[in-house]
Structure 1
Amino acid sequence: MKNNLVLQTDFGLGDGAVSAMYGVAISVDPTLRIFDLTHDIPQYNIWEGSYRLFQTVSYWPENTVFVSVVDPGVGSDRRSIVAKTKENQYIITPDNGTLTHIDDEVGLEEVRVIDETINRLPRSGESYTFHGRDVYVYTAARLASRLISFEEVGPEIPVHSVVKLIKPKAQIQDHLITGHIDILDIRFGNLWTNIDRTLFKQLQVQHGDALEVTIHNDTRQVYKNIMTYGRSFADSRLGEPLIYVNSLDKMGIAINQGSFAKAYHIQTGANWQITFRKFN
């Protein structure tokens, strides 16, 4: 049985780039099952590409092959790699930090550098700006269709040598949890933090409890308010903010039927800090 092939890029669908990647994969094996994770990663945003993989990968069967192309360094000396996760999926990507969340949250079992002398689209050797088509999806299709084994991708490299982005850890001290806003639930404008539910529970809170929530962008306070910890959006009135557990078992912030991110001009990343304080 063939394995699934899942594609993620920052290319968008406004031109033929993604279609070309599909064409290469189908040319390798017309029976491949190809799916899109997303092609709407903001341009050059490696952090978001890393997070969307973490959001998705664990829900796919073993041996699924992912291609993630968010590659501002295309044509440079950055490595092109294939990583095998501890859950037995494969991710093909530039070695530029895209594997940060997967390494931390899922774990990497083994990593190999793509040998482009054998794993590159024929007659593409003079092209240096579309590795997603010429190297990544071509290698991925061959791996997913079992025309090559993982060992035939190229030489193994140490897992610890893979490039990682700065990823702060959430902390708890004196009834105060400090974390960061990792990503947005884009369509609805909810804030997804890096604070695990299990860490949050150390505040000894129950559904219905009120907490003080503060958001800083670097040293500038952007938001401060009291809000309720709810089981779901039904636990708040229309337009009210609430704290909830998101689909990745981490803490989220939302406005019931509104966009928290738009309302308060919130963005994401290591410089966006959020704190939860329980009242004694």
Structure 2
Amino acid sequence: MMMRALVLQSDFGIEDGAVSAMKGVAHGVSKVIPIYDNTHDIPPFDIWAASYRLLQTVAYWPVHTVFVSVVDPGVGSERKSVVVKTNSDQFIVTPDNGTLTHIAKKVGIQAIREIDENVNRLPQSGASHTFHGRDIYAYTGARLAAGVITFDEVGPELQVENVVNLPLYEPQWKEDSILGTIDILDVRFGNLWTNIPRELFLQLGVDYDQAVEIEIVNNARSVYRNKMTFGRSFAAIQLGEPVLYVNSLDNMAIAINQGSFAKAYNIGTGSNWRINIKKKS
């Protein structure tokens, strides 16, 4: 029987036993499936960040990998528990609450099934309504990864077009500048990762070491406006200076050399955080 990798992400942190409990459930299903962590440091209830972290990761895992994503502020509500099969033949087990936004848009979803809790729920867990990450998602994900169930046995099929999506703003030209969003932070270093691809940015005709004008807006309020260098790396600028660079996803990003841009200017993420990049005249 082919074993698939099981990759877990959540907003649980690792200060208590929640993540360990999820792994224990998965291990109870099969002692030989490989279990990995994506991250458990997603900010609490931040569905947008959960969605982005999946997009950041899935392309680097083999086909048939099973991802379990548990950021679930609506646990115990009517939101659906689902498994999707993506266009890249991977599986994501998650609440259908917007966590699939980036995957649906950038990767594509072949099919979606609602988890049948009469079959795919940890035995003797029916009285618990607050830890679906352990009782439903880890259990179902492990059963799928171990080959105990097939995708068709997850539960009834749903309509792909009804997947819950968060607002997603596409980067666009506006006169002589490019508008995009601050999609996520490179959290440990406080860098801003935008949704503006390198190829679109290069249409501005900006070369390395040239200056650009940056404006960051939150809900129509200007938060930051200044010029900075477009650099190959942080070595292109002095300590403490800002730089525009290409990140590991081939999108444009902003950093302060050996500092946190996000903390320095109190920058957040999501579709309400817009960035405007303009070639300095």
Q: How would you bin the TM-score normalised by the shorter chain?
A: over 0.9
Residue 177 of structure 1 is matched in structure 2 by 178
Alignment of 1:30-69 (within 5 A): 30-69=31-70
Residue 277 of structure 2 is matched in structure 1 by 276
1:273 is displaced (CA, Å) by 1.2
Aligned-partner SS, 1:224? strand
Residue 227 of structure 2 is matched in structure 1 by 226
Instruction: Write the letter of the residue equivalent to 2:216.
Output: I
CA offsets per residue over residues 201-234 of structure 1, 9 Å max, x none?
1212211221111111222211111111111112
Residue 101 of structure 2 is matched in structure 1 by 100
Residue 192 of structure 2 is aligned to residue 191 of structure 1? yes
Alignment of 1:1-280 (within 5 A): 1-280=2-281
CA offsets per residue over residues 96-129 of structure 1, 9 Å max, x none?
0000011111111111111111111111112111
How far apart in 2 are the matches of 1:97 and 1:220? 26
1:3 is displaced (CA, Å) by 0.6
How far apart in 1 are the matches of 2:15 and 2:233? 36
How far apart in 1 are the matches of 2:58 and 2:29? 23
Aligned-partner SS, 1:118? coil
Instruction: Write the letter of the residue equivalent to 1:170.
Output: P
**CA RMSD, aligned part only?**
1.0
Instruction: Write the letter of the residue equivalent to 1:179.
Output: G
1:191 is displaced (CA, Å) by 0.4
Q: Which runs of 5+ in 1 are unaligned?
A: none
How far apart in 2 are the matches of 1:19 and 1:279? 51
Instruction: Write the letter of the residue equivalent to 2:176.
Output: H
How far apart in 2 are the matches of 1:243 and 1:85? 32
Instruction: Write the letter of the residue equivalent to 1:167.
Output: L
Instruction: Write the letter of the residue equivalent to 1:178.
Output: L
How far apart in 1 are the matches of 2:222 and 2:77? 39
How far apart in 2 are the matches of 1:4 and 1:31? 10
How far apart in 2 are the matches of 1:126 and 1:240? 55
- Which range moved further: 101-110 or 183-192? 101-110
Q: Which runs of 5+ in 2 are unaligned?
A: none
Aligned residues: 280
CA offsets per residue over residues 6-41 of structure 1, 9 Å max, x none?
111111112111111111100100111101111111
1:240 is displaced (CA, Å) by 1.3
Aligned-partner SS, 2:120? coil
Instruction: Write the letter of the residue equivalent to 1:50.
Output: S
Instruction: Write the letter of the residue equivalent to 1:29.
Output: S
Aligned-partner SS, 1:134? helix
Dislocated runs of 4+, deviation >2 Å: none
Instruction: Write the letter of the residue equivalent to 1:92.
Output: V
How far apart in 2 are the matches of 1:213 and 1:93? 36
Aligned-partner SS, 1:59? coil
